[in-house]
Structure 1
Amino acid sequence: MSPATPQRRWNRRSLKPAARRGAVAVEFAAVAPLLLAVIVGLVELSRVYSVQNCLETAAREGARFAALDRSGMMLGGKTANQKLIDDVKNYLASNNINPDKVTVKVTAADNPDHEFNLDDRANDMQLFQVRVEVPYSDVSYTPVSDANDYTLNSALTFRNGRAVVAN
């Protein structure tokens, strides 16, 4: 064997890792945008799931308030509907959802266009619905165009728990 033979083997071996490094860089450049899109999509999807869960919990807690005996729970001059709406918005605010962007409605269960008055004695033991809505663009981590915006909402039907007890 001549002393040049090991030199050639060394040169051939040293060329392979350099060529492979270039291929890895090209592969990464091709895959990185897709990987980044998947990661951002997963973050947004988890945000939607989290906000939807908060809306459902807020609606449930608001409706639960109406099922209770509310005597002594109201501040002066505040109606049960106002307290329910304020409680729902306060819960959402504690979960970093802007309460000014949230819409809360208390409607009759059989007619969502008709407002339900929790304080009206005629509505005792009647079904009502609490609907909580927020635009997706107001809770998204990324910008949302008007054309792609939609509303996240939750609705829960409950019974107005006030009842007249007869002696």
Structure 2
Amino acid sequence: MFHRPITRVCHLSPTGNRRGAVAVEFAVVAPVLVSVMFAMVSLNRAFEAQNLLATAAREGARFASMDREGMPTGGQTGNQKLANDIKNFLASNGIDRDAITVEVKDFENPEEDFDIDDVANDLRLFEVKVSVDYSAVSYTPVNASSDYQMTAKVVFRNGRATLSD
């Protein structure tokens, strides 16, 4: 005597049980996608801020390397105008002025400040260094132990030269 195995046939609609599977898959994948999206936004902001620092340093040094007769106003020194211009540029791009540090240093002796108005510094190389903490440019809060300083430097030649007849 032969016994035939009993087989059950389920007649489910193509979308009946699949809806639950899609919801579970989305619940698993969604946090990963959202995390990647926020990481990309943060990384983009860091790259943008670094580019802004480099641009500001270059434009500030360019000011110092050209004839700037009459450009500083109100008793400003060349160094003060350079720092003020850099801070204004970065502030116009959303970076807090008080968080920005601008240094003008002698290229050959980086520990010494460089006075771009001093005639003894004519045609000498100088370095403009612009710094800001990452927490000042980040869209999200940054833990103090994880904060770091973003810096851009550029070296230019002091363009003030005495011309002789």
Fold match by TM threshold 0.5: yes
Q: Which residue in the other structure is 1:86 paired with?
A: 84
> Following superposition of structure 1 onto structure 2, how do residues 1-167 of structure 1 map, counting pairs within 5 Å?
12-14=11-13, 16-167=14-165
Gaps of 5+ in 2: 1-8
Tell me the amino acid that sits aligned with residue 74 of structure 1.
Answer: P
Superposed CA offset, 1:54-90 (max 9, x none)? 1111001000001111111121311000000000000
SS at match of 1:105: strand
CA distance in 1, matches of 2:157, 2:145: 37
CA distance in 1, matches of 2:18, 2:33: 21
Farther off after superposition, 109-118 or 31-40: 109-118
CA distance in 2, matches of 1:118, 1:27: 63
Tell me the amino acid that sits aligned with residue 29 of structure 1.
Answer: A
Higher normalized helix content (fraction of residues): 1
Superposed CA offset, 1:63-119 (max 9, x none)? 000111111112131100000000000000111111110000000112222100011
CA distance in 1, matches of 2:128, 2:121: 15
SS at match of 1:57: helix
SS at match of 1:48: helix
SS at match of 1:17: coil
SS at match of 2:94: coil
Tell me the amino acid that sits aligned with residue 121 of structure 1.
Answer: V
CA RMSD of aligned residues (A): 1.5
Identity %: 54
SS at match of 1:64: helix
Tell me the amino acid that sits aligned with residue 74 of structure 2.
Answer: G
CA distance in 2, matches of 1:76, 1:22: 71
